[in-house]
Structures are given as C-alpha cells and as structure tokens.
Amino acid sequence: RAVGFYGELVDINAYHQPGVEAGKKAAAAILDLQKQVEQLLSDGTARSVQQIAQELGDPAHQEAVFFILRHLSGNPRGIQASGDWADPLSLQFRQV
C-alpha cells in the first residue's frame, strides 16, 4: 500500500515493472524454442545440438538448444541423451 501511495504522490505508476515484462518475453521465446525442439525430435531420429539448431533454421542459438535439451533429458520428458556430457559436441538426442 505504501508503494502505491508514494507513486501517487510523485505521479508515477509504482507498479510499472519493465524488467518483469522483458523477462516474460524472454521466457516466451525460450518456451517457443523448446516446443520447436520437441516437435523436431518427435520423429525419433537422433540428432546433435548443432543439427537441431540448424534444422530449426537458427544455428546461432546452439547454446539455448543445448540447455533446453539438457533440461528435457534430465526430466521425464521422453528425451534421451547419448554421448559424453564432458564433450557436448558428441551428444546425440532423440525422443523415446
């Protein structure tokens, strides 16, 4: 309540949080990329991070694809990883 009262005193919207909105947009972009990755892997073919990023038409986002795949394979989402985690270029991912 004090925040709203102070905002009214100085004539600003005390609840305007541009950082929160930016975070929501960034999260939406990552969730959209995750959906694309899951759709691509739904055919059961094993692919590397590089192949997945390239097939999605966005090879610049290999790091984001890697972290999405790490999350999906570490949780019961039906994505299996094979290869050496110490060498991310050796990893292959597929839906089981």
Predicted local distance difference test score (pLDDT) of residue 1: 67
Q: What is the pTM of this model?
A: 0.79
Q: How many residues are recorded in the chain?
A: 96
CA distance 27 to 25: 5
Predicted local distance difference test score (pLDDT) of residue 44: 96
Predicted local distance difference test score (pLDDT) of residue 36: 97
- Looking at 1.10.510.10, 1.20.120.1750, 1.10.10.10, 1.10.357.10, the CATH number of the domain 28-95 comes to 1.10.10.10
DSSP character for 61? G
Spans of all domains in the chain = 28-95
How many alpha carbons fall within 13 Å on the CB side of residue 12?
Answer: 8
8 Å CB contact between 48 and 87 = no
CA distance 93 to 40: 11
Predicted local distance difference test score (pLDDT) of residue 94: 97
Predicted local distance difference test score (pLDDT) of residue 43: 97
Predicted local distance difference test score (pLDDT) of residue 41: 97
pLDDT in tens, the chain (96 residues): 677 777 777 877 777 777 778 888 999 999 999 999 999 999 999 999 999 999 999 899 999 999 999 999 999 999 999 999 999 999 999 999
